[in-house]
Amino acid sequence: MTLALVDADIVAYRTAATCEGEEFWIAKSRCNEMMERILQAVNAETYQAWLSGDPAENFRYKLYPEYKANRSAPRPRHLEPLRELLIKEWGARLFCGEADDALGINASDDSIICSIDKDLLQIPGRHWNFVKDLYTVVSKQEGLVRFYRHLLIGDASDNVRGVKGIGKVKAERLITEDLTEKGMFDVVRWQFNDDERFKLTGDLIYVLRNEGERWSEMKRDWFNEPPER
């Protein structure tokens, strides 16, 4: 059974953004078409569509009030009505936090994550980028490599800083496929040279696999050890 895990935040936002000058019925039609196209493309036998809930309930804002503070563009005018449409007509669920985490928590061997968000490529399993029509299978090792490289680079779109002076090329040179996860952890820890900021960045970037977990707590024992070079 193929379970499609749909990032409904992306569906709503992209549809609303392309229909800014249109009447709502056009936005509604395009939103429905996008959902139908996603489910057909992955031959979904069942699906879950997830929307991010109230930002006040998102632990990341509590950890770091400047999280996503750089997003100043006005929200598309049809965004909220489209979110309501997805809830009422497509059964989309609100997650207490970010939709990304809901997809990570519900991912399984039978699921395929349908999104364009590169953050989700840290989750092992099948992925469908419904804008690029790109199918990807991420192994556990590939997911770890993407996550630790992401820590080094940071995430400008979410206002999360990485290590100054490290971009994509240097991150790929530092975090290689042959490293163990502990090896990747130690490399990134040395580059940060600040455990508190390293912990914060990890908590902000890590996509949850279980509700309530925090990456820094999961790695507590490693933080209690001296790093190895």
Which token pair is 36?
A: 């139908």
Domain ranges of the chain: 3-138, 140-223
Tell which CATH classification among 3.40.50.1010, 3.40.50.10300, 3.40.50.2020, 1.10.260.40 matches the domain 3-138.
3.40.50.1010
Q: Is-contact 16 76, C-beta < 8 A?
A: yes
For strands 134-138 and 125-129, give the pairing.
antiparallel
For 154-180, the three-class secondary structure string (H helix, E strand, C coil) is: EEHHHCEECCCCCCHHHHHHHCCCCCC
Dist CA 166 CA 186 (whole Å): 16
Residues for the chain: how many in total? 229
| pLDDT digits (tens), the chain, 229 positions | 899 999 999 999 999 999 999 999 999 999 999 999 999 999 999 999 999 999 888 999 999 999 998 887 789 999 999 999 999 999 999 999 899 999 999 999 999 999 999 999 999 999 999 999 999 999 999 999 999 999 999 999 999 999 999 999 999 999 999 999 999 999 999 999 999 999 999 999 999 999 999 999 999 999 998 876 6
